[in-house]
A and B are shown apart, each in its own frame.
Chain A
């Protein structure tokens, strides 16, 4: 699904990613953990195609295709989805209108007609029920006045609507109380299949109790310094990151 080789990236000439290697296969859930400032969110942004980040070396392959030259929306059309750590507000644009625009933009890229209104309604109903979202919520302006939990739930709702091949969840657990966390995680689990993949970026192990990863990677100073199974997450929870830093610096 996703193959990252020796990825180096910088922003405003500051080198942040310093040689990342990562392969995610269809049907897998990977988690990236690491201390603050290790480059986790940068990795998410680079894969999603944020312009400020410059790839200085290495490749990103999505299903064998080099996506380096593709604009962010083209990557989205190919099935990359990023659940933002800090979703932005768009005043006056309802969640429904935003989703309709996004879905039809993705369909257009695939040469399909706009989704018929009744089909769209059915999809909205189904996915909002799955994520226990009040339908009134969908008429509100996108992220405007949303609580932290509502913002994150809205991100996962969008993921459910767009059905991506690769979903990157950037700190989706931050700002969520335990009930919201469970709902969001359940949603992600229901969306999981043998044909898609999930990359969870998180600081804490908490989310991984609900979305159980097949692989856990530790990112430190722009490199993956340790990989393992889900037990690695528990070990990090217990011992913190200092022992990893020591290992690396030794």
Chain B
């Protein structure tokens, strides 16, 4: 389906230059490197957390110590030394009483580079920004509008203090502390992240958006996001990231938990552009993320992701379709170039009756990169009439990259209907010549072909995000023609 029509022309927005690879020098309050119980306690204390939260972290830490780093993914890298990482870093200039006008000029300059200057935020109607720089939220806007609807959108640190009953009830219910090695680590040391609660029957009037940044050299970043959509509510959540150039590997192990109660819908969109390392494969972010959503009766969760960054990606946004008639969707574009490695996909766990899931995965490999899709469709014995449709397409550029597909299907109910389609194609010289002949240079031609290939997924993104994502695809594949 090609949705770009004359109407889109009318609506066309000016695309922003997207930059990465800059570094802003901000004084940070960084803990000593290494990880032990004292550090976990210190993080909790620093954030003025209640005792239950400290205990929760310590439980996670205990579990983590017993766990092994997983090695089943199709990625190869030097394992991080977890004792060589500093586990807490916050810009020192944070003051909760500050208004946006008082924000550190260096930070403001950084927002500008990210294309999210304060001015722009105000102009961009319908988008509330909760900006995370390093680990602490420094500014939250549109809070009032949201508050009128009873919507809670704040940093998770604030939520732990202000809404402990909600955090306590839901934190770790979808991704338990012991879920996996990185989730356990995150549970022990998570620095900050976002919290969102949409009350019963409320349709969130704007896209909620968070920009994550890694800024401090050698600082691991451990985001924790918790989104709860109460019965019959709706929310669209956007998450976008860029990271500055760094010569050493940076670890990023986030956890995102989504809870869609009866008849609720959550749309979660991500544009991920962590530093992928340079053309020789040096540096770059390790992105080991656990994202999972739980659907109750008639609920729906949609994950849409555009993954262009990171040296190594390990990420499977999943849906647990617990309630009858619930729906899970996963739309993904994963681009790898140079020496990037990505092992990404989804898990659709069908537990309820008449549950439906859709998976559309588009992998684009260039350079010497390796791009793997790994997906699980599981239908439990009591999930009558479960349906899944999966489509995995790979596009290869050049002769030195790899595309791999690992689909797993486990069906324990014979009424299940599961479809899987897969294609692999290569950008043809004839396609490029055709574009060249119309005056389009090769670089632009590839961007056009790649955007066309990714259209089905790009169409699922909110408009503003789609424009940025398109730009990002182009930047990510720059210089991949040879």
Interface residue A196 (Cβ < 8 Å from any Cβ of B): no
Interface string of A62-100 (1 = CB under 8 A from B): 000000000111001100011010011111111011101
Q: Once the chains bind, are B433 and A124 in contact (CB under 8 Å)?
A: no
CA distance A89 to B2 in the complex (A): 13
CA distance A94 to B2 in the complex (A): 6
Give chain B residues whose Cβ lies under 8 Å from the Cβ of A102.
435, 438-440
CA distance A229 to B335 in the complex (A): 56
Instruction: Identify A49's interface contact among B436, B455, B456, CB under 8 A.
Output: B436
Chain B residue nearest to A107 (CB atoms) is B439
- State how many angstroms separate the Cβ of A110 from the closest Cβ of chain B: 10
Interface residue A141 (Cβ < 8 Å from any Cβ of B): yes
CA distance A92 to B10 in the complex (A): 20
Q: Once the chains bind, are B433 and A92 in contact (CB under 8 Å)?
A: no
Q: Once the chains bind, are A97 and B4 in contact (CB under 8 Å)?
A: yes
Interface residue B18 (Cβ < 8 Å from any Cβ of A): no
Interface string of B432-448 (1 = CB under 8 A from A): 01111111111010001
Q: Once the chains bind, are B439 and A73 in contact (CB under 8 Å)?
A: yes
Chain A residue nearest to B7 (CB atoms) is A139
Interface residue B125 (Cβ < 8 Å from any Cβ of A): no
Q: Once the chains bind, are A120 and B9 in contact (CB under 8 Å)?
A: yes
Instruction: Identify B9's interface contact among A77, A92, A100, A142, CB under 8 A.
Output: A100
CA distance A101 to B9 in the complex (A): 12
- State how many angstroms separate the Cβ of A9 from the closest Cβ of chain B: 16
Contact A105 B440, CB 8 Å, known A88-B430, A91-B452, A92-B455: yes
Q: Once the chains bind, are B449 and A138 in contact (CB under 8 Å)?
A: no
Interface residue B454 (Cβ < 8 Å from any Cβ of A): yes
Q: Once the chains bind, are B439 and A76 in contact (CB under 8 Å)?
A: yes
Chain A residue nearest to B438 (CB atoms) is A102
Chain A residue nearest to B425 (CB atoms) is A91
CA distance A162 to B37 in the complex (A): 68
Give chain A residues whose Cβ lies under 8 Å from the Cβ of B448.
90, 93, 97-98, 101
CA distance A109 to B439 in the complex (A): 9
Chain A residue nearest to B436 (CB atoms) is A72
Interface residue A226 (Cβ < 8 Å from any Cβ of B): no
- State how many angstroms separate the Cβ of A81 from the closest Cβ of chain B: 8
Chain A residue nearest to B453 (CB atoms) is A92
- State how many angstroms separate the Cβ of B265 from the closest Cβ of chain A: 27
- State how many angstroms separate the Cβ of A64 from the closest Cβ of chain B: 21
| A-B pair number, CB within 8 angstroms | 108
Q: Once the chains bind, are A135 and B439 in contact (CB under 8 Å)?
A: no
Give chain B residues whose Cβ lies under 8 Å from the Cβ of A51.
433
Give chain B residues whose Cβ lies under 8 Å from the Cβ of A172.
none
Interface size counted on chain B using CB atoms at 8 A: 32
Interface residue B6 (Cβ < 8 Å from any Cβ of A): yes
Give chain A residues whose Cβ lies under 8 Å from the Cβ of B1.
92
Give chain B residues whose Cβ lies under 8 Å from the Cβ of A142.
452
Interface residue A3 (Cβ < 8 Å from any Cβ of B): no
Chain B residue nearest to A72 (CB atoms) is B436
Give chain A residues whose Cβ lies under 8 Å from the Cβ of B431.
88-90
Instruction: Identify B4's interface contact among A73, A82, A96, A120, CB under 8 A.
Output: A96
Chain A residue nearest to B433 (CB atoms) is A50
Interface residue B479 (Cβ < 8 Å from any Cβ of A): no
Interface residue B451 (Cβ < 8 Å from any Cβ of A): yes
- State how many angstroms separate the Cβ of B13 from the closest Cβ of chain A: 11
Interface residue A250 (Cβ < 8 Å from any Cβ of B): no
Indicate the member of B435, B451, B453 with the most A CB atoms within 10 Å: B435
Q: Once the chains bind, are A92 and B438 in contact (CB under 8 Å)?
A: no
Q: Once the chains bind, are A87 and B2 in contact (CB under 8 Å)?
A: no
CA distance A135 to B5 in the complex (A): 10
Give chain B residues whose Cβ lies under 8 Å from the Cβ of A84.
434, 437
Chain A residue nearest to B430 (CB atoms) is A88
Interface residue A48 (Cβ < 8 Å from any Cβ of B): yes
Instruction: Identify A82's interface contact among B6, B437, B441, B444, CB under 8 A.
Output: B437
CA distance A100 to B440 in the complex (A): 11
Instruction: Identify A71's interface contact among B429, B434, B436, B452, CB under 8 A.
Output: B436
Interface residue B106 (Cβ < 8 Å from any Cβ of A): no
Q: Once the chains bind, are A93 and B449 in contact (CB under 8 Å)?
A: yes
CA distance A136 to B438 in the complex (A): 22
Instruction: Identify A105's interface contact among B3, B428, B439, B451, CB under 8 A.
Output: B439
Q: Once the chains bind, are B440 and A121 in contact (CB under 8 Å)?
A: no
Instruction: Identify B436's interface contact among A73, A98, A121, A124, CB under 8 A.
Output: A73
Indicate the member of A73, A81, A96, A109 with the most B CB atoms within 10 Å: A73
Give chain A residues whose Cβ lies under 8 Å from the Cβ of B434.
84, 87-88, 90
Contact A96 B5, CB 8 Å, known A91-B452, A121-B10: yes
Interface residue A158 (Cβ < 8 Å from any Cβ of B): yes
Chain A residue nearest to B431 (CB atoms) is A88
Interface residue B12 (Cβ < 8 Å from any Cβ of A): yes
Instruction: Identify A93's interface contact among B428, B433, B451, CB under 8 A.
Output: B451
- State how many angstroms separate the Cβ of A180 from the closest Cβ of chain B: 21
Interface residue A140 (Cβ < 8 Å from any Cβ of B): yes
Q: Once the chains bind, are B439 and A106 in contact (CB under 8 Å)?
A: yes
CA distance A52 to B448 in the complex (A): 22
Interface residue A117 (Cβ < 8 Å from any Cβ of B): yes
Q: Once the chains bind, are A158 and B438 in contact (CB under 8 Å)?
A: yes
Q: Once the chains bind, are B5 and A117 in contact (CB under 8 Å)?
A: no
Could you name 16 residue pairs across A and B whose Cβ atoms are closer than 8 Å?
A51-B433, A52-B429, A72-B436, A72-B437, A81-B437, A90-B448, A92-B452, A92-B453, A96-B5, A96-B9, A97-B2, A102-B435, A105-B438, A124-B6, A139-B5, A141-B2
Which 10 A-B pairs rank lowest in CB-CB distance, beginning with the nearest? A92-B452, A93-B452, A92-B455, A72-B436, A76-B439, A102-B438, A94-B2, A97-B4, A106-B439, A139-B5
